Amino acid sequence: MASLKELKDRIKSVKSTQKITKAKQMVAAAKLRKAQAAAEAARPYAERLAGVMGSLASKVSGDSAPLLLRGTGSNQRHLLVVVNTDKGLCGGLNANIVKEAKKQARKLIAEGKDVTFYLVGKKGRAPIKRDYASKIEHHYDTSDMRNPDFEEAEKIADDLVARFEKGEFDIAHLVYPVFKSALAQDPTTVQLLPVPAPEDTPASDAAVEYEPDEEEILEDLLPRYIKTQLFGALLEREASEQGASMTAMDNATRNAGELIDKLTIQYNRSRQAAITTELIEIIAGAEAL
């Protein structure tokens, strides 16, 4: 049986933990709204660009297509670009992303492919290093970025495209969380490079004039498309992080409340027991006289 003082200290410590989780929950809720708005604001650009890409890519095909669309022609070396968060306290979000990345890696390795990792964000580093220490190609640090901005996505995309053009890998996949709601964030894998040909291209019968020609426009457009995709992934990551954090901290706050109630009952019981014992001692003493 813990002493009264110990119990009292324990209650105090749980209470201060609860204060922290409560504050973090409220901060996450406020940030979530902002992150969601940012993700929504970015959608028109991505949609337009995807539409234009689709109609152009269907016109330019075969050997004249740019490298980013055509690919290296090989299917051996795969790069997994894994987007994790930089901060913890967001429940199982990072664990889920890493799980998805490892699943993809296992699948590709089972098919006899070479797999390397390109990590974005801090929290994926340790768990992936544990299993695939030798396969981590590069770690991109985003921890000093407060809000996802396009320049950051640009830098990552430029780096990836440069590596692709040097022939360091054949196919790149992007693993990132898709924000569904504060309760659900699904880790998703999409092919990043070479840019997958869009499946349903809207048949455009209008004679569109291009300046400069289709190929040059496409060449200009493809890196931009990759940047947009990475930017989208960063925005989704931000929203997912805040959503997951809000849910996790809400749970933590509730658990702390339950623990405090339990400890308070225990504390009161022991206090009463102590008083009863004292009384018995006094009465026994008085009777002995």
Which of the ranges 100-108, 171-179, 221-229, 258-266 carries the binding residues for another protein, by CB under 8 A? 221-229
Known catalytic residue at 90: yes
Query: Does the footprint of another protein cover residue 260 (CB under 8 A)?
Result: no
Query: Does the footprint of another protein cover residue 289 (CB under 8 A)?
Result: no
Query: Does the footprint of another protein cover residue 62 (CB under 8 A)?
Result: no
Q: At residue 48, what is the residue type?
A: R
93 neighbors 240 (Cβ within 8 angstroms): yes
With a CB cutoff of 8 Å and minimum separation 6, the contacts of 25 are 245, 246, 249, 250, 252, 253
Instruction: Give the shortest CB-47-to-another protein separation in angstroms.
Output: 9
Which of the ranges 128-136, 167-175, 186-194, 212-220 carries the binding residues for another protein, by CB under 8 A? 212-220
Q: Tell which phi-psi region holds residue 91, choosing left (phi > 0), alpha (psi between -120 and 50) or beta.
A: left
Give how far the C-alpha of residue 282 lies from the chain's centroid of Cα atoms, to the nearest Å.
Answer: 64
Which of residues 34, 48, 107, 262 is near another protein by CB under 8 A? 48
Query: Does the footprint of another protein cover residue 68 (CB under 8 A)?
Result: no
With a CB cutoff of 8 Å and minimum separation 6, the contacts of 60 are 66, 69, 214, 215, 218
183 neighbors 247 (Cβ within 8 angstroms): yes
Instruction: Give the shortest CB-225-to-another protein separation in angstroms.
Output: 10
Q: What does the angle CA 275 – CA 277 – CA 278 come to, to the nearest 5 degrees? A: 65
Query: Does the footprint of another protein cover residue 156 (CB under 8 A)?
Result: no
Question: Which has the closest alpha carbon to 82: 36, 25, 45, 127?
Answer: 127
Residue 219 CA to residue 64 CA, distance in Å, equals 11
Instruction: Give the shortest CB-35-to-another protein separation in angstroms.
Output: 12
Q: Please, which residue, 230 or 256, has the CB nearer to another protein?
A: 230
Which of residues 98, 221, 239, 248 is near another protein by CB under 8 A? 221
Applying the rule CB under 8 A, the residues between 10 and 39 that interact with another protein are: 38
Exactly one of 11, 53, 90, 97 is catalytic; which is it?
A: 90
Active site (catalytic) residues = 90
Positions in the binding site for another protein (CB under 8 A): 38, 41-42, 44-46, 48-49, 52, 56, 149-150, 153-154, 206-212, 216-217, 220-221, 224, 227-228, 231
